[in-house]
Amino acid sequence: MTIGIGLKNLLSNPIKFSESSTPQKSKAQQRADKLSETQRPGQPFTRAGKKATADVNAEKNGGKVVCEYCGTETVKVKQSKKGVVPPQNELQIDHKIPQSAGGSGTPNNGAASSRSCNVKKSNKY
Ligand SMILES: [Zn+2]
C-alpha cells in the first residue's frame, strides 16, 4: 500500500534537476555579499566595495561596467588631472540610499553610475 502510493507520487511528480533552478552565485557576487555583511551606514565605499560593485555590474553586462541609471558604458579614470574635466561617463559608485540619509557604503547599496547621473542625483537636494 505505502509502496504503491510512493510509486504513484514518483511518477506523477517527476523531479527535474536543471542548472537554472539553482543559480550559483558568481565570485564577484559572493565577494559583494561578503563585503555587505558589515554595514557602513552613512559612510563612503571602501576601495574593495567599489570594485566589487563594478565587478558585479560588469558580469551582467558582458564585461562592461554600465551606468545603472542611463545605460551608458562607463570608463575608469585612473588619475584626475588639474584643469581637466573628467568625462561625463566616468565610472562612479553611487549610494542607492544616499550616504547623507544613512545609506550604507557597501556593495548592496552601491550602483555603478556615470559621472553625469551621479552629479544629477546629488544635485536634487
Ligand atoms: Zn548614467
Q: What are the grid coordinates assigned to 18, written together?
A: 536543471
How close is the Cα of 83 to the center of ligand 1, in Å?
Answer: 23
How close is the Cα of 46 to the center of ligand 1, in Å?
Answer: 21
Phi, psi of 107 (to 5 degrees): -55, -30
CB atoms within 10 A of CB 105: 20
Give the 3-state secondary structure of residue 88.
coil
pTM of the shown model: 0.76
Give the 3-state secondary structure of residue 117.
helix
Query: What does the pLDDT look like over 41-97, one tens digit per residue?
Result: 999 999 999 999 999 999 999 999 999 999 999 999 877 778 888 899 999 999 999
Query: What does the pLDDT look like over 15-26, one tens digit per residue?
Result: 565 555 567 899
How close is the Cα of 4 to the center of ligand 1, in Å?
Answer: 61
How close is the Cα of 6 to the center of ligand 1, in Å?
Answer: 56
How close is the Cα of 54 to the center of ligand 1, in Å?
Answer: 14
How close is the Cα of 69 to the center of ligand 1, in Å?
Answer: 5
Which pLDDT does position 21 carry in this prediction?
56
Which pLDDT does position 6 carry in this prediction?
57
Q: Which residues contact 65 (CB under 8 A, 6 or more apart)?
A: 54, 57, 58, 73, 74, 76, 91, 112
| Measured CA distances, 21 to 11, 32, 98 (Å) | 21, 22, 34
120 pLDDT band, cuts 50/70/90, is: confident
Q: What are the structural domain ranges in the chain?
A: 24-122
